Structure 1
Amino acid sequence: MRRRSISRIRSTDMLLTLATYAVGGRRFEHLPGNPEQPALVLVHGLLHRGIVMRSLAKFLNGRGYPVYIYDYKTTRSGIVEHGRKFTEFLRSLPEERVGIVTHSMGGLLTRVALCGLSGTPEAAKIGRVVMLAPPHHGSQMAEDVSRRFPPSKLMVRPLAELSNREGAVCRTLPVPRGFEIGVVAGDDDGKVSIESTKLDGIADHVVVHARHVFIMFLPETRRQILAFLDTGRFLH
């Protein structure tokens, strides 16, 4: 059953209509755009909700892209389960061309989803993927919090999975092949090291001056996102 509510969001130069849906227990928001452009799916990270991606969504929508903001409750399931649900969301999209822009743990969900789509007809519609500050090899902060405060692992299920210790889930996820993936890392991230954002087989990697929680808001990050979506390469 599909429920829809409409809210209007005023930006500096236009009035956007943002539609919020709930389908099969998954929430997302949609900004229609130029049908000639690939749709973009934005995926937030741990302890955030979809609202944190709205500013980036409006920016990309202003460049003509139709945009979906995928929303999920980050603390309730592990990375793999979140990724499987995201796989089904991608399968449900009607567009023939879909790009993805992620922040933090959203990049790990996307790795699971892309591996799930690999070898299926739906894989052909996935275009370029930009990951902002993805903890591919884990986070020392996640390790410290989960070790020093054990109850946190029960309250925030993916926390221990995001550790940088050997054998942590994030370090054992398969690497998707056959997709164009670019990574933007922050040189002053504070949560995820530059080395942790690197992944074998990706198309490109660039470093910007950014903190982890603010990276998606910065003009330089957005310039790099547009460059990769357009050309498959960042600006170096």
Structure 2
Amino acid sequence: MNAPTPIDVLLLHGLWMRGFAMAMLHRRLRDDGFRVHQFEYMSVAAPPEQAIERLRRRIRQLAPGPVHVVGHSLGGILALLACRDDDLPVGRIVCLGSPLNGSGAARGLTHSWGGDMLLGRSRELLEHGLERWDGQREVGMIAGRQPMGLGALVGELGDQHDGTVGVEETRLPGLAAHCVLETSHTGMLVSADVARQVAVFLREGRFDA
């Protein structure tokens, strides 16, 4: 009997990062049986629309089978924007600490010296986020509540946050599932618990209680 064809997963890094930041998650998902791909983009110098269109092309290239997308922080927002139309292969999306309804840290940076340069072309998207998710794909959000990071020093993140993004900033109408883990914003990328929950959602459309 032939082994089942592995399902494709695209990983998107966040602001100020490169694809290698997702290396540990890449390895864990690969070991869990997925066929994993990195998607790199310029998060500061280039407009988000450029990354969104490139991402849509990459997803189409991996057709005709399902293509899942996992995005950390800004990467999760871009994943939703790229997949909100229904002309792409089926699949699910997992966002890791993405400020889907706007980032208090980003708004704080905007009013600080050099903030516009630090956020670059992604500033408006990070500041305001989205209104809701009404695309066809099921979307799961993993938020963190280990407050290790400098985000709280530049913006209001709420009572629970991962050091960069508040838990409430990760909530958005239309999400299929939301869970909160004991991890920081960057710690999500190396967390075995996060990787396990990502794999469960990609396969089942839910998180493991």
TM-score under structure 1 length normalisation: 0.75
- Greater mean alpha carbon deviation, residues 75-84 or residues 202-211: 75-84
Aligned residues: 191
- Greater mean alpha carbon deviation, residues 195-204 or residues 75-84: 75-84
Equivalent residue for 1:105, pick from 74, 87, 92: 74
Cα distance in structure 2, aligned partners of 1:41 and 1:217? 17
Cα distance in structure 2, aligned partners of 1:171 and 1:202? 12
Q: 1:35 to 1:77 in 2, by over 3 A?
A: farther
Q: Determine which structure has the larger strand proportion and give its number.
A: 1
Unaligned 5+ segments in structure 1 are: 1-33
Cα distance in structure 2, aligned partners of 1:177 and 1:202? 10
2:199 equivalent in structure 1: 226
What's the secondary structure of 2:111's corresponding residue? helix
* C-alpha displacement of 1:143: 1.0
Equivalent residue for 1:66, pick from 25, 35, 49: 35
What's the secondary structure of 1:159's corresponding residue? helix
Unaligned 5+ segments in structure 2 are: 147-161
> With CA pairs under 8 Å and 6+ residues apart, which has the higher RCO, 1 or 2?
2
2:155 equivalent in structure 1: none
Equivalent residue for 1:82, pick from 51, 63, 73: 51
Which amino acid in structure 2 is aligned with residue 60 of structure 1?
Answer: L
Cα distance in structure 1, aligned partners of 2:176 and 2:143? 14
* C-alpha displacement of 1:94: 4.0
* C-alpha displacement of 1:203: 1.2
User: What RMSD, in angstroms, separates the aligned Cα atoms of the two structures?
Assistant: 1.8
Cα distance in structure 2, aligned partners of 1:94 and 1:161? 28
Answer whether contact 1:138 1:192 (CA < 8 A) is retained. no
Answer whether contact 1:133 1:197 (CA < 8 A) is retained. yes
Equivalent residue for 1:135, pick from 73, 86, 99: 99
Which amino acid in structure 2 is aligned with residue 216 of structure 1?
Answer: L
Answer whether contact 1:99 1:127 (CA < 8 A) is retained. yes
1:171 aligns with 2:130: yes
Cα distance in structure 2, aligned partners of 1:45 and 1:197? 14
Q: 1:47 to 1:176 in 2, by over 3 A?
A: farther
1:183 aligns with 2:152: no
Cα distance in structure 2, aligned partners of 1:171 and 1:177? 12
Answer whether contact 2:133 2:175 (CA < 8 A) is retained. no
2:187 equivalent in structure 1: 214
1:91 equivalent in structure 2: 60
Cα distance in structure 1, aligned partners of 2:45 and 2:60? 22
Runs of 4+ in 1 over 4 A off after TM superposition: none
The sequence identity of aligned pairs, in percent, is 29
Larger Rg: 1
TM-score under structure 2 length normalisation: 0.84
Which amino acid in structure 1 is aligned with residue 142 of structure 2?
Answer: V
